Chain A
Amino acid sequence: MCGIVGLFLKNSTLEPRFGELLAEMLVVMTGRGPDSAGFAVYGSGENGRIKLTVRGDDLDSIVADLGGDISGFIRDTHLVLTLPERDEQRVRDWLAASRPDLAVTGAGERIELYKEVGLPADVAKRFGLAGMSGTHGIGHTRMATESAVTTAGAHPFSTGTDQCLVHNGSLSNHRSLRRMLEPKGIRFSTDNDSEVAAGYLSWKLQEGATLAEALEASLDDLDGFFTFVVGTESGFAVLRDPVSCKPAVMAETDDYVAFGSEYRALAGLPGIQNARVFEPEPARVYAWERN
């Protein structure tokens, strides 16, 4: 149970302010999720190179230990490595063998994904969210329901390249779905129901579905209550279950599309007074793609 936010910029002049805007949206949702917070930002990227966000302690020596054409920077408990795409498997293997204490939270050309236990304002500050620029991204504040208050259980979840998902609600068939997805090669690192939803979408995308098709399919296969906000390298999508118990409000202007669990989260956005503010309908996929 939680608060979720998302922001997708259409006007590139806002990109330097992206983190500042998302941070404010995130902090307003503290009441819905005081346990932990997280966010994914789609920032700059280089063709042929991939960013791996790694979470854990003692990150200082990793870039040097890895060697090769790899750069990196540290934000609090997270290290973002940038490496040639062809090196991804080697780096992942090295991390698994040499540093099993670390977790890869996200991977992709442009995605960086940060999450920690604590109040959203503190989490945003620790990672310097307000100073980040980006084109789109999603954020989440968590009130843990049936799993532990841990960083691993915080959202967003990413189980595919440049893909991430935040979820508000509670799935009732996630154990069965997990058993269906694991033999198909989808790996899970928590016992969280929302991670299963992320894994489900990754599987559908792997099978060749578009993001919209994957979300459509989830309406048949996922049981329970959900509002999802999903990010991909170039896209941003929203879906609510057919019963739609969990709240959602959206705002669209010429400059951006924004999502919040409550309107309060959107109240500080520029030009919100003249935005088209609407509630996404149940069981309908809303998707935006960058040109």
Chain B
Amino acid sequence: MDLENIPQTLPRFSATFDPHTLAEIRRAAATGIYDIRGGGTKRKLPHFDDLLFLGASVSRYPLEGYREKCATDVWLGTRFAKKPIHLKTPVTIAGMSFGALSGAAKEALGRGATIAGTSTTTGDGGMTPEERGQSQTLIYQYLPSRYGMNPDDLRRADAIEVVVGQGAKPGGGGMLLGQKISDRVAMMRNLPKGIDQRSACRHPDWTGPDDLEIKIEELREITDWEKPIYVKVGATRPYYDVALAVKSGADVVVLDGMQGGTAATQDVFIEHVGIPILAAIRPAVKALQDLGMHRKVQLIVSGGIRSGADVAKALALGADAVAIGTAALVALGDNDPAYEEEYRKLGSTAGAYDDWQEGRDPAGITTQDPELAARLDPVQAGRRLANYLSVLTLEAQTIARACGKSHLHNLEPEDLVALTLEASAMAGVPLAGTNWIPGQTF
């Protein structure tokens, strides 16, 4: 035996205790606090990538690209509101707060959305003049904390979104760490500067659908029944939650899957609570259909929408519109490789940076530091967002035309097949090449 040349066993990491897990145990042991970060889930989930469209061929005829009409507009809030909203594209901007984002970033979102003919949304922390001024259509979020909530802004808004939960943390409240509570944020939220702001997980004056009905009535009375009332829920039990939102009197339901981002929350919450948007849409649509309310109460879905293909797939599964958050921030300039050196200094890398709670964002978006925030030009960033929204719309149109649809809303589940068993079961569409949908689906 050649004792000199015995092959060495290669070091092997445990799949269970992988390097990320080991680092997290050490971090927890050193600090005694859970990991808080921004963004959405990072784990691999069944998603829209696992679905494919069946384009037209001999049995069906496609529409000619660039020539034959394929409409993209959407009406929201047609059930009760005197002034429903009409958007040119079904891609809206999700709620993100001033506080979590800089004033310039909020302004850029408004500029981009307005050019594209869509809406943007406030967040936990009130409405800023920059945002209202630059947003043609602005949705005002009504959150448990009611930071900055006032009736003047309520009347200034184009719609009101009652936030029950969000996909990143269904059942949880908000959090904004002290680093981001600047003078202006502190003033808007009636908080001392520099403290950790903890937001409640339940609304202070209603709990449950029977009381929500009364709350919605109050908001309608205050605004003389003009504004559409949205109800936003994080995806967990979408069939029941959507049905109850409808029974409570909502005009629009916003359904946010677990891929949806957040300004700052416990990592354990982001990664382990809620369900993927792919699994949530069909039960939500089924609830609307069972109540005879599909297309009458509109459904906006969000959580991991990145491309026009995602938009088209969400609509085909029955949504009326989608909302984007993370993708919109990337379009503005979030995690731009141009700042790689600075990301490295923060212990991260471009594309993985998620410590939005620290307020040291090199791209100047998730920060209240005036020097960093000055890096973002709201006009240019708004233009980038508008371009991106345009691409999402064009891509979705391309697919819809290929399927022979003259409106995006004529896409249907039967235009889709699934690549994996998981996606097939969750989306309720057949495995490609078969007529088989596994499991009991909605």
Contact = CB atoms under 8 A, between A and B. Distances in A.
Q: Let me know if chains A and B touch directly in the complex, using CB atoms closer than 8 Å.
A: yes
Interface of A: 1-3, 31-35, 143-146, 168-170, 225, 245-247, 261
Contact of A1 (B202, B208, B237): B208
A141 B224 CA distance: 28
Interface string B189-211: 00000000000001000011111
Shortest beta-carbon contacts, A-B, top 9: A245-B207, A32-B210, A1-B210, A1-B208, A1-B209, A146-B240, A143-B209, A143-B247, A143-B210
Nearest to B212: A1
B214 interface: yes
Interface size class of B (residues with CB under 8 A): 10 to 19
B244 A145 contact: yes
B240 A145 contact: yes
Contacts, number: 37
With a 10 A CB-CB cut-off, give which of B209, B237, B244 has the most chain A CB atoms: B209
A225 B211 CA distance: 14
- Majority SS of interface residues in chain B? helix
Interface string B211-228: 101100000000000000
A228 to B, nearest CB: 15
Contacts of A31: 210, 213-214
Contact of B208 (A34, A144, A170): A170
A225 B210 CA distance: 13
B208 A245 contact: yes
A145 B207 contact: no
A34 to B, nearest CB: 7
A32 B207 contact: no
B237 A168 contact: no
A1 to B, nearest CB: 4
6 contacts: A1-B209, A1-B244, A35-B247, A143-B244, A246-B211, A261-B210
A3 B210 contact: yes
Given A34-B247, A146-B237, A168 B207 contact: no
Contacts of B211: 246-247
Given A143-B209, A143-B244, A146-B240, 9 more contacts: A1-B208, A1-B244, A31-B214, A34-B247, A145-B209, A146-B237, A169-B208, A225-B207, A245-B202
A166 to B, nearest CB: 13
Contacts of A35: 247
